[in-house]
Structure formats: structure tokens, C-alpha cells
Amino acid sequence: MRFRRLAVLALAVVTAAAAQQFTVPVEYHTLDNGLKVVLSPDPTAPTVVVAVYYNIGFRIEPKDRTGFAHLFEHMMFQGSKNLGKMEFIKLVQSNGGILNGSTRFDFTNYFQVVPAHKLETILWAEADRMKGLNITQENLTNQQGVVKNEVKVNVLNQPYGGFPWLDMPQYANENWYNAHNFYGDLEHLDAASLKDVQQFFDTYYAPNNAALAIVGDFRPAEALALVKKHFGGIPKAAVPPLPDLREPKQTAEKRFNKKDTLAYRPALAFAYHMPERNTPEYYAMGLIDQILLQGEDSRLTQAIVKKKGYASGVGGGINLLGNMFNYNGPMLWTVSLIHDNGVKADTILAAADAAIEELRTRPVDRATLDRALVKLRSDLYGEYEGFFGFGTADLLASFALFDNDPSRINTLENEFRTVTPELILRTAQEYLRPTNRTILTIEPKSGS
Amino acid sequence: MKTIIIALCLAVSLAFAQKEAPPAGSAPKDFTLPKKHIVTFKNGLEAVFIPYGRVPKVNISVVIRVGNINERPGQTGLADLMGDLMKEGTTTRTAEQIAAEAASMGGSLNVGIGVDQSTIGGEVLSEFGPRMAALAADVVRNPLFPESELARLKNNTLREITVAKSSPQQLTFEKFRSLLYGDHPYGTVFPTEEAVKGYTVADVRKFYKENVGAARTRIYVAGVFDQAAMEKALRDAFESWPKGPAVHTNVPKPKAKKQFHLIDRPGAAQSTIYLGLPTLNNFDPDYVKMVVTNSLLGGSFGSRITSNIREQKGYTYSPNSQLSTRYRDGYWVQTADVTSSVTGASLKEITYEIERLRSEAPSDAEVEAIRNYIAGVFVLQNSSRGGIVGQLSNLKLHGLPDSYLANYVKNVHATTPADVQAMAKRYVRPEEMTLVITGDKASVEKQIEEFAKGVPIEKK
């Protein structure tokens, strides 16, 4: 009797856990030309997200053209066969939509959120620029000016500009692909030619190097037919294999100081190389991030902000230019803060180390792990919804491009659930080693 | 003759055939605003429930008419300090317990202090909605304001102000507000160091007592939730709350006159520009027409000023114009960070675009495109939990009826090219604009003589 009751109870628990899981609809197709297509209907609002991801990030741009992947992203708005300069933007806006593009470690994306009935209009426009660009020297020169102003407003004319998101990968990584200036040197940006633009397009902007995600209020069969109609005829191209992005194992702590003459207060960041993507340790790091860094209850916030008052807040996480899912290569877990002149970086590091070492010394208790899981699950749902469903499109396109398996989106919750306190301990011991760490201090203008 | 005409027609149609027109899409789907359900408690406090979406999360926002507007002279930042201290514990919970409890629901307890109203609450997994309501109520109704945390929070404030004042955008914004509003609370963005150091827990308690209570509060619940359970939790937590102080308003009289200020930042790679003037607010019948006008002029990617100084000239990356509004108050402003050497040229182009719109009605097609854009953005603004709460609390702040949202898209579509020109003439008047530039004086000064003509130049 007892056993049977237990069995029933256990069943009930499993059902409750399963009911809590939120499932994202995923329909996956690959066209004959290699274009990966992911469809995820969601009728919540009469809108639709169209996101095109190209498997070319800023890591793998040419060595004498730093910043080129990003500059090229701008060129995708400068004209294609049927849409002249500004016409793509005006087409989206005049149909009641919003749009953007971004360049990240391992992809460049272009996305629109539009009224649902404008799906075909946008698919046509995205297909038009996947077919080819029509760029003049005048437009290239114009966008070189815009991008240089982007670098100025975000980095050169800004206190803490590029700290730590642009700086840290350059200090912590050894492999050029991971360690160069992704925004680009201004001279390299100036040196870009129309020939470079054409060559880059021909090399990377092919359907077999891209994923298209559609999320929102649409019927999958109709959407697929439209995708085939507009993208099906675009020829595939020979895409070069990705370069070797691997980082050597770090064996000694690294420390750097950067002067920032625009800043009035010092800042501190430290970063650890992440476990390889999709390994058990990788999922454990996702939970370690929740325990140590995310939210006001996190141990680093409690230690550094609440107890010691060294900073107003502690920021950071896995992949400062996205989330822990939308990259494909080496990555850092980064912590950063701004502090007062009177407090030494080492004093703050000591407080941080006390919290980190605790995690490397004994297994976390179940309650801590459960809380980390709840936070992570809630964050994940937030990610799905982010920017009117763009967040779902982002994960689906990333998993299609990097893993050829967008349905992974529905396995994530379970991967985190299976992480044990022992795995957390082992992961912290190996990856939160001081010898796996890079420290960066920002030295402000003297006398401030 | 005939043959020539035919040949010409052929040439024309061939030219057209080279470019394919975008497909129009299918029939539009209906958009209806999410339905809301209002429950009024015995103390007069309203709770607004908006079921929305399918992701199992819920937004609980306690919106209170308290903010910097309630600060008296010499009290700048006191509202913010009250907000910081509210998170530091209640009569029954420590700060650490509040943080841990919210985290265990998949959220955090946020206190956001605004100029006209403030929001306390957060988003949690749906199953924890009633518990989050209780936690938010405890923080709102029973703050401890512990003396022990005051020095740390004041030090944080001072550090944050120092960091903010190293940013050219913040410096420019601060000066722009000060020139427009003078001594009114909207005119002082940052408190002085002495003021911050002088604040006591007694000051915070007094400010709380004078400004926080049921009569100033409205609660919003949006997302996936159990109506009965949420209603009960809110009733249990808020129905016994005394009404407290009535809403206090203080409408400013911003300066509409030509003013200029240059903040010298030696060697700066860019000049940060704010150019604007007081204008209408949400309560004005012209407001929706002005929203269309602003989007066309500088407030969207495809707008005239952005097309000009970014997409034609490459002077800047993210220029933007906006209608910034508060209770019965508003200003229009164009902002841009431009390469130092083209500061004067940028101002010339901005002014040119303003004058062009004032002197000539835009084409039907241009206005039609902007109307569609705004109507589309309106759908998005009402298609997330936070967006819905924002729309409804904004409506309440400005004292606008529900029909405002219901008729919004209709009013957008009723805006004509003549209206747009009339709005620009009426509300975007260059001769009454305040201009603030933060940049390298040595490089900029000569370029802006034209704008500074006839007005005294203030220097730092």
C-alpha cells in the first residue's frame, strides 16, 4: 500500500513538473538551397517577427579589416536590386513595423516586427537583399562616417566606453579571432572598399549560411509556401569552413590596467573562460551565474553591494552581447562594477573571492539550487518574449545555425533541472579557478 | 508623333519592369486592446486586471503618484533616496529576505522612482502572483527605512552622480532641463553633494508620510494569472491601507525663448546637441497630430532629420527627436552626437529640416507612411505586459479617458499633410529654442557663431 501511494505521489510530482514546462512551437525545414527555416506560431498579438541570421560574426572578419563585419551590416540597408537606399527602412516603417540589425560574435542578424498581414512584404524584402546588393561608393563612404560616429558615441567619447564588453575579450583571449577589436580601428574602417563589400557578401551571405526564423501570428503552411516562393530560387554558394576559434587552456591569472581619461571613478572587471557550449558544465555555469551574479539575492551582490557597500551594483553574465545561448565558440563569464577611489581593486576581489570560493569548497544546498532554477526559468521565459517575440526568433535561429536543431529550445529547462550540487561544485572548481581568470582595472582621470 | 509616344511609353514601362514592387501582403487582422477589469476596494484604491498572453508570468505594478515633482527646493533626489531605502527592509522582512523571496518567485522587487509617479513591483512566474502582491504591499506599506543603510545608499548616490556627470549626454540633458525649467523640480536633474550628505531618515519618513498612500495609488496586474486568487491577495494586502495624502500637482512654466549654452569638454571627439522648446502634452487635442509630426521630422529611422544628417551626410549615428511629456507639461527636443568638425553643419541641417516642414506641407505618401508606422508601433506598445501597464498608467496620470486609447489609431489616420505642417508651425519654433552643446570649445565655438548670435554665451 505504502509503495503504491508513493508511486502515485511521485507520478503527481512528475506531472506537475511537466506542466510547469512551457513549450515553444517549433517547425523546422531546410530548403533545397540550404536555407534553414524555423516557424513558431504564436497568436498572442497580430504581429509577426521575421529574423534572418547569417552565420558570420565579428570574430571571423578579415585581419586587416577589423570592424568589417559590423560595417557590412550597415551596408545591408544601403540598397539591393529592388530597394534603393532608405527604401528598405521606409518599406518596413510604412507598413507599421520596426526593424534593426546587429553584429555579434558568431552571427549577423536582421529583423523586423510587423503587422501579421505584412509577412509576405517583409519576406520579399529580405529575399531581395539576400539575392544581392547594389551599393555605390557614395553609400559606402556615408556609412563609414555613420559607423565611425557609432564608435565615437559608444566608445571614444564615452566614459567606460567599451568597458567591459569590448575590452574584456581582447584581454582575456589569446586567439586573434576572439581577441581583436570587434568595433574596428578607425583606419581599418576607412580602408574598406566596395570590392571588400562585394567579396564579403559573396563569401558569407548565401542561403546555405543562413537561418530564417518567423515567430508570431501566421499559419505555418502558408508561411512556408511564401518562404519557398521568395527564397527558394536563391542559389547556394561555397561557404568557407569556420576558422579554428579554440582558446588555449589558461594556466595563470592575467591582470591588466586601462587608463580612461573620461572617467572619474575606477572600475573593475574579471572574467573566466566558460565551459564548452552544451556540455553539462555549461548548464551548471548557467546556474552558477544565477547563484553568484544575477538578481539582488545573488551572492556577489550581497557581498560587494549590500554588506560592504563597494558599489551600487554588480553587473555581467555569460556573453555580454547576448545571452548564454546565442553564440558558438569560446565565451567568457564576466563580472564588472564601478567603485570609489578610496577602495582598492584587491579589497573588492577579496570579497568576491570569499563568495566564489565557498562555491568551490562545498556543494550548494538544495534550496539555493532550486532558487537558481526558478530564476533561470523565469529569465528564459522573459527571453522567449523579449522584444515582441524576437527573443524566441533569436534562440530558434541560433540553434538552427549552430546546432541544426532549433527544437533544442524545449530541452533547455530540463538540461538545467538535471544539474546536481556535485556538478556545480566540480564546475566551480575547474572553471572559477583564479588561474582561469583575467582581471581588468580601469584607472580614471587622476585627481578626480 | 504616335510612334514616338508609344516608344516613350515602352521605355517607361521597361524602366518600371526593372524594379519589382513589394507584395502588398494579405488582409489586415483586427487589433483590439487587451480587455481590462477594474476592482475598487473600500478605501477607494483601484486594482486593474489585464489578462494577457500565454507565457506563465505576471506583472504586478503598484503605481503611486509620488516622485521628484513632490520634492521641495533643496530636496532634489529625496524621492530617489526614499525609493532606495524602501528596498532595505520592512517591519517584518530584512532587505536580504525581500531579495531572496522575490528571487524564489523568479523575479525581483523593483522600486522605480519617476518624476511624476513611481512603480513598485515586478514580474514573477504566474504561480507566485499572490505572494508577489503580498511582498510588494509590505514594501509599500511598512517600510523600515533603516538608519544603518543610509550612509551606504548616500555614498552610492554620490558615486552614481559623479559617473553620470562624466557622460556628455547626461551633462547636456541636465543643462537643457535647467535652462527650460529653472527652479521647478523638473529643472534639477542631479542633487548637490551637500544636499545628499544632509538627508536624514527623518527627512525620508516625512516625505513618505506626505506623499504615499492609497489615494495616490493604483495597482496593475497584467499577464497570466488566477483572477480570484490575485484579487483576494490584493484585497487582503491593500484594502485596509489608509487613504493618506491626496494627489499633489505642480505644473511648471518652462521657458520658450532663444537660449544657448556651451559646455566645454576639451578634445571631445563629438559634440552632444540638445535643441528644443516647451510644447504641448498628452492632454492637448493636438497631441496625436504632433506625434505624427515628430515621427516624420526626427523621431523615426526614416524621418527627415535622420535621413539628412545620418543617411546622407554621415555626421552622426543615432540622432533622434522626441516629445517628452510629464503631467500637463511637454517639450520637443532633437538630440544628436555629431563629429566635432561638423557641429555647425549639423545644426544647419536640423534647422533646415524644421524650416522646410514649417513652410511646406509634406506629400500625402510621406504622411501616409508615418501614420502607418505609428499605428503599427501602437499595436506593439500594447503587446507586452509591461507595455500594457505603461499605457494604462500613463492614461491615468494624464487624466485621459479610455476612449483616448480606443480612438488613437483612428486619430493617427485622420492626420493630414496640412495638419503636420500646421503642427510644425505651431509647436516647433526655432526662434524660441534652447540649444545646449557639450563639446570641444576650441573646435566648436567658431562653427556655432551663427546660432549664438544675439544671445549671451554661457561658459563653464
Which residues of A fall within a CB distance of 8 Å from B224? Answer: none
Mean of pLDDT values over B156-173: 97
Are A285 and A220 members of one domain?
no
Q: Over its length of 448 residues, how does chain A's per-residue pLDDT go in tens digits?
A: 333 333 333 333 333 344 457 899 999 999 999 999 999 999 999 999 999 999 999 999 989 899 999 999 999 999 999 999 999 999 999 999 999 999 999 999 999 999 999 999 999 999 999 999 999 999 999 999 999 999 999 999 999 999 999 999 999 999 999 999 999 988 999 999 999 999 999 999 999 999 999 999 999 999 999 999 999 999 999 999 999 999 999 999 999 999 999 999 999 999 999 999 999 999 999 999 999 999 999 999 999 999 999 999 999 999 999 999 999 999 999 999 999 999 999 999 999 999 999 999 999 999 999 999 999 999 999 999 999 999 999 999 999 999 999 999 999 999 999 999 999 999 999 999 999 999 999 999 875 5
- Nearest by Cα to A60 from A330, A302, A293: A330
Q: How far is B2 from chain A (nearest CA, A)?
A: 32
Quote the strand ranges of B357-451, DSSP E: 434-439
**pLDDT-derived band of residue B2, with 50, 70 and 90 as boundaries?**
very low
Give me the CATH number covering residue A218.
Answer: 3.30.830.10
Q: How far is A241 from chain B (nearest CA, A)?
A: 34
Q: Measure CB to CB from residue B156 to each of A81, A86, A312 and give the nearest one.
A: A312
**pLDDT-derived band of residue B111, with 50, 70 and 90 as boundaries?**
very high
Locate B234 and state its grid cell.
Answer: 490584493
Mean of pLDDT values over B184-190: 97
Are A258 and A356 members of one domain?
yes
The three-state secondary structure class of B7 is: helix
Amino acid type, B170: Q
Q: How far is it, in rounded angstroms, from Cα A140 to Cα A185?
A: 17
Judge whether A14 lies within some domain: no
Which residues of B fall within a CB distance of 8 Å from A297? Answer: 96, 99-100, 102-103, 108
Are A198 and A298 members of one domain?
no
- Nearest by Cα to A434 from A266, A273, A256: A273
State whether residue B269 sits within 8 Å of chain A by CB.
Answer: yes
Q: How far is A226 from chain B (nearest CA, A)?
A: 11
Q: Which fold has domain B37-238?
A: Cytochrome Bc1 Complex; Chain A, domain 1 (3.30.830)
Tell me what pLDDT residue A121 has.
Answer: 98
Could you report how far apart the first and last alpha carbons of chain B are, in Å? 73
- Is residue A219 within 8 A of residue B31, CB to CB? The reply is no
Q: How far is it, in rounded angstroms, from Cα A120 to Cα A114?
A: 11
Cross-chain Cβ contact B337/A116 below 8 Å? no
Q: How far is it, in rounded angstroms, from Cα B353 to Cα A73?
A: 28
* Predicted ipTM > 0.95: no
Q: Measure CB to CB from residue B379 to each of A46, A153, A374 and give the nearest one.
A: A46
In which domain, by residue range, is A364 found?
A: 254-444
- Nearest by Cα to B65 from B41, B45, B90: B45
Are A283 and A214 members of one domain?
no
Q: How far is it, in rounded angstroms, from Cα A89 to Cα B306?
A: 12
Please provide the DSSP assignment of B253-304 as one string.
Answer: ----S-EEEEEE-TT-SEEEEEEEEE---TTSTTHHHHHHHHHHHTSSTTSH
Cross-chain Cβ contact B314/A382 below 8 Å? no
Q: Measure CB to CB from residue A94 to each of B87, B109, B372 and give the nearest one.
A: B372
User: Counting Cβ atoms within 10 Å, is residue B5 exposed (0-12), middle (13-18) or buried (19+)?
Assistant: exposed
Tell me what pLDDT residue A131 has.
Answer: 97
Mean of pLDDT values over B318-335: 98
Percent of chain B with pLDDT over 90: 90
Residue of chain B whose Cα is closest to the Cα of A376: B106
Q: Which of A200, A231, A262 is the last residue of a domain?
A: A231
Q: Measure CB to CB from residue B23 to each of A121, A158, A385 and give the nearest one.
A: A121
Q: How far is it, in rounded angstroms, from Cα B448 to Cα B86?
A: 47
Mean of pLDDT values over B175-194: 97
State whether residue B116 sits within 8 Å of chain A by CB.
Answer: no
The three-state secondary structure class of B321 is: strand
State whether residue A188 sits within 8 Å of chain B by CB.
Answer: no
Which residues of A fall within a CB distance of 8 Å from B368? Answer: 94
Tell me what pLDDT residue A112 has.
Answer: 98
Q: Measure CB to CB from residue A378 to each of B19, B106, B314 and give the nearest one.
A: B106
- Nearest by Cα to A233 from B16, B24, B13, B20: B20
Are A220 and A129 members of one domain?
yes
Judge whether A13 lies within some domain: no
Judge whether A4 lies within some domain: no
Q: Which of A175, A196, A231 is the last residue of a domain?
A: A231
Are A177 and A258 members of one domain?
no
Please provide the DSSP assignment of B358-382 as one string.
Answer: HHSPPPHHHHHHHHHHHHHHHHHHT
State whether residue B228 sits within 8 Å of chain A by CB.
Answer: no
State whether residue A262 sits within 8 Å of chain B by CB.
Answer: yes
Mutation target for A interface from B30, B97, B104, B308: give the one with most A CBs within 10 A: B104
Cross-strand bridge partners of residue A337: A268
Residue of chain A whose Cα is closest to the Cα of B22: A121
Q: Is the pTM of this model over 0.90?
A: yes
- Give the pairing type, strands A36-41 and A27-30: antiparallel
Tell me what pLDDT residue B30 has.
Answer: 79
Tell me what pLDDT residue B26 has.
Answer: 84
Amino acid type, B128: F
- Nearest by Cα to A66 from A221, A153, A176, A204: A176
CATH 3.30.830.10 maps onto chain B at 37-238, 259-459
Locate B1 and state its grid cell.
Answer: 508623333
User: Counting Cβ atoms within 10 Å, is residue A372 exposed (0-12), middle (13-18) or buried (19+)?
Assistant: buried
Are A313 and A366 members of one domain?
yes
Element spanning A328, H or E: none
Locate A181 and state its grid cell.
Answer: 577589436
Cross-chain Cβ contact B380/A157 below 8 Å? no
Tell me what pLDDT residue B449 has.
Answer: 85
Are A286 and A334 members of one domain?
yes
Sheet order of strands, A36-41 included: A27-30, A36-41, A210-216, A47-54, A108-115, A98-103
Are A56 and A150 members of one domain?
yes
Cross-chain Cβ contact A149/B100 below 8 Å? no
Quote the strand ranges of A243-393, DSSP E: 254-260, 267-273, 315-318, 332-338
Q: Which of A181, A199, A231 is the last residue of a domain?
A: A231
Element spanning A102, H or E: strand A98-103
Q: How far is it, in rounded angstroms, from Cα B367 to Cα B364?
A: 5
State whether residue A240 sits within 8 Å of chain B by CB.
Answer: no
pLDDT at B457 over 80: no
Q: How far is it, in rounded angstroms, from Cα B59 to Cα B109?
A: 11
Q: Measure CB to CB from residue A124 to each of B23, B301, B339 and give the nearest one.
A: B23
Are A284 and A213 members of one domain?
no
State whether residue B107 sits within 8 Å of chain A by CB.
Answer: yes
Cross-chain Cβ contact B163/A150 below 8 Å? no
Are A217 and A295 members of one domain?
no
Are A146 and A294 members of one domain?
no
Amino acid type, B438: T
Looking at chain B from residue 134 to 153, which residues have their Cβ under 8 Å from any Cβ of chain A?
151-152
Q: How far is it, in rounded angstroms, from Cα B80 to Cα B118?
A: 10
pLDDT at B387 over 80: yes
Cross-chain Cβ contact B100/A113 below 8 Å? no
Structural domain count of chain A: 2
The three-state secondary structure class of A17 is: helix
**pLDDT-derived band of residue B9, with 50, 70 and 90 as boundaries?**
very low
Tens-digit pLDDT profile for residues B402-414? 999 999 999 999 9
**pLDDT-derived band of residue B90, with 50, 70 and 90 as boundaries?**
very high
| Length reported for chain A | 448
**Does the B259-459 domain belong in CATH 3.30.830.10?**
yes
Judge whether A208 lies within some domain: yes
Cα dihedral A140→A146→A148→A151 (10° resolution): -140
State whether residue A312 sits within 8 Å of chain B by CB.
Answer: yes
State whether residue B300 sits within 8 Å of chain A by CB.
Answer: yes
Alpha helices in A45-166 (DSSP H): 68-75, 87-94, 119-131, 137-151
- B137's CB contacts (< 8 A; 6+ apart) are B62, B234, B237, B238
